[in-house]
Amino acid sequence: MWTGQALQDATDGFVSRSYVSQLRKGGIANPRLDKLQALAEVMGFPPQLWFEGVSDPGSTPHTASPEQSVTISDRLEALFRTATDERSGERYSNADVARLSMGAFTEKEVEGIRTGALPDPSVEQVLALAEVFAIDPSYFLDTEAKPPLLDRASLEGLSNQKARIILHKSLELSAQEQDLIIDMINRLEGLHGEDRRGAQP
C-alpha cells in the first residue's frame, strides 16, 4: 500500500506527505494537475483515471520519449486552431473561453495556459476547458502522444460554414444514416467525375 511518505519519496518530494494526506481526506478540493500526473506515474496507472467517464483508460500508454511529449498548452492551442463557435462560426478568443468557463479562469489565465506561462492548471480549469470545447478531460492528460493534426483540406473544410453544418448535423445521425450520407457524397463525386470526362474533347 502506498503511504504518504512512500509517495513523497517516489516523487522526489514533488508531492509531499502532507499533500497526499490532505488529498485522501478530501481537504484539497481542486488539486494541481501536475501533482495528479506525478502520482499516477509513480503508482503506475494512466492519469486519465483521475477523471470519471473515461471509457478506455488503458488504451493510452503512459511512457513517453522526450520528443513525443506534448504539453497542455500544445493541446489547448490545437483546439484554438481548429474549434469554432457553433453560433458565430468564428474561432474562439481567450475572452470567449474565459466567459464560457463561468468563472473558472480569467482571460489572462487562458492566455497563460496557451503560452505555457501557466503550465499546471488546476483540475477545475481543465474540466472547464473540456466543457467549453465539448471534449473529454482526458484529452489534456494524454501528453504522451501528439494531438491529432488536421490536414489542410480538413481545416479548409471546417472554415466553410456549410461543411460545418453538415458535420454537426451528421453527429446526430445513427451509424447507418452516416453511411448513407457518405454513400451519397461518393455518388455525387462519381457524377462530377463523369461530367468532367464528358466535357473533355
pLDDT digits (tens, 9 = 90+) for 96-151: 999 988 888 899 999 999 999 988 888 888 888 888 887 777 777 765 555 554 44
Q: Which of 72, 76, 95, 78 is CA-nearest to residue 158?
A: 78
What is the rounded average pLDDT for all residues in the chain? 75
Domain 72-141 sits in CATH 3.20.20.150:
no
* Between residues 140 and 27, the one the model is more confident about: 140
Whether this model's pTM surpasses 0.85? no
Whether the per-residue pLDDT at 38 is higher than 60: the answer is yes
Alpha helices in the chain (DSSP H): 4-10, 17-25, 33-43, 72-82, 94-100, 107-115, 123-133, 138-141, 152-158, 161-170, 175-199
Delimit the domains of the chain by residue range: 4-50, 72-141, 152-199
